[in-house]
Amino acid sequence: MVDPDVVARRVLALSEAVAHLRASGAGDAAKLAADPVLRAAAERWVQVSIEACIDVAYHVVAGNEWTPPDTARGAFQTLAAHGLLEPELARRLGLASGLRNLLIHDYVSVQLERLAQVIQEDLDDLSRFGSIASQWVSASEG
């Protein structure tokens, strides 16, 4: 069973992280290079926002007793296969999970230009997932 509180708490964390990223100017690679605190905060906010999406995806898959995926990318694909996500959004979120892995496991390889580009161009996908996930919870409560 999908726990609405689990989803809501993660969607809130996602929304807060995205709001910080948008307000901080972290989409500017030069600012990230000049300000190590901003860079660290931006990396963390990106990680948290992607991780929140991954957590919700796994939780919904488990809550519906669907076959557990081997990867976060697979979790998004499972949601798409069951009609909960558009396949293209699931694909892009799967790619985002790769960035999350880079931020956690290969953090010395993070390219500031790429991080800034993600912040400029990809936050809408994360926010869209949060909105969609909130609708799943609302539908299950009604």
What is the chain's pLDDT, residue by residue, as a tens digit (142 residues)? 899 999 999 999 999 999 999 998 999 999 999 999 999 999 999 999 999 999 999 999 999 999 999 999 999 999 999 999 999 999 999 999 999 998 989 878 889 999 999 999 999 999 999 999 999 887 766 5
**39 CB neighbour count, 10 Å cutoff:** 19
Provide the whole-model pTM: 0.93
pLDDT at 62: 96
Find the helix packing angle between 36-63 and 87-105, rounded to 10°. 130
Please say whether the beta carbons of 106 and 58 come within 8 A: no
Domain ranges of the chain: 4-141
Measuring CA to CA, how many Å separate 9 from each of 20, 28, 107? 17, 29, 26
4-141, superfamily in CATH? Answer: bsu32300-like (1.20.120.580)
Please say whether the beta carbons of 24 and 41 come within 8 A: yes
What is the spatial distance between Cα 68 and Cα 3, in angstroms, rounded to a whole number? 17
Matching residue, tokens 């558009």: 86
